[in-house]
Amino acid sequence: MIKIITDCTSDLLPKIYSSKDIEMIPLYITIGGKTYQDGVDISTEELYQKVQECGELPKSSAVNPATFVERFKKHIDRGNDVLFMGIGAKFSVTYQTALLAANEFPKSRVRIVDSANLSSGIGLLLLKAAKFRDAGDDLETIAQKIEALVPLVRTQFAINTLEYLHKGGRCSGTARIFGTLLKIKPIIRVIDGAMVVAQKPHGKFSVALEVMLDYLRKDKNNVDPDCIMVTHSLAPEEAVFLKDQIKKIVKADTILETFASGVISTHCGPRTIGILYILKK
């Protein structure tokens, strides 16, 4: 048996974690002098309420090595091997912390994979890992197959407000002022394991949504049909629009709507929405 473990930033639905036998470890969010377990003690809606109340941006933090050791040991003692894959190494210390914990066990029993991604970009890889596990692959085979898929994940988000990027130090005050005046809705893509501003469409938010759909149109003949994800932070109307449009562009087995965790929402703000998928080659 192989136990797949992730962190809350993978943004899968609780029913999927359960049905695919994936264990989720919450990261931490601190705001207003209090620390919460993301998705356990605080929801994304409550997070935004506290931002308004406190006038500050939350801070996110990883779990400590002892937590990973405890989680890994529980499954190893039951005779299971462990595959951990969470938020990418360039986004958080979570990956390095998991590696430290893995050193406490035989190398053949625990495998840490760098997703080089965030949000449901990780989720897509987790679904593949579960599929490989259920087909009978061993731990190392699964890890190698996932590592080969990592460069094929396409993650892009449209940001509706620059406020959170600014408060988080990812956008200067001047850039925020001009961006707001020009109504810029940046498109953030994950490239080589890091976030980059790919385009800066301005005007209505719908323009940014079309930019993301254009990326999908360019890739439509090379999109893995297993699953396409629409992930958002309180943008239900935009999610409906994108799902309808995606159906017109590609034939996918599943178009799944998922919701950004508090940690992800801390860095992007409300109404952020993305389209995520894996290429076939």
User: What is the pLDDT at residue 137?
Assistant: 98
- Evaluate whether 54 touches 31 at the Cβ level (below 8 Å): yes
What are the two backbone dihedrals, phi and then psi, of residue 254, each rounded to the nearest 5 degrees?
-140, 130
* Confidence bin at 167 (pLDDT 50/70/90): low
pLDDT digits (tens, 9 = 90+) for 22-63: 999 999 999 999 999 999 999 999 999 999 999 888 999 999
Residue matched to tokens 């979570």: 94
Helical ranges in 36-90 per DSSP H:
44-54, 65-77
Is a pLDDT exceeding 60 seen at residue 176? no
Going by DSSP bridges, is the β-strand pair 2-7/81-84 parallel, antiparallel, or unpaired? parallel
pTM: 0.94
CA gap 268, 71 in Å, rounded = 29
pLDDT of residue 181: 43
User: Rounded CA gap, 281 and 276, in Å?
Assistant: 15
Q: Euclidean distance between the first and final Cα of the chain, in Å?
A: 29
pLDDT at residue 182, rounded to an integer = 53
Over 70: is that where the pLDDT of 216 sits? Answer: yes
Which secondary structure element, helix H or strand E, spans residue 255, and what is its range?
A: strand 255-259
Average pLDDT over residues 67-73: 98
Say whether pLDDT at 157 is over 60: yes
Contact of 198 with 187, CB cutoff 8 Å: yes
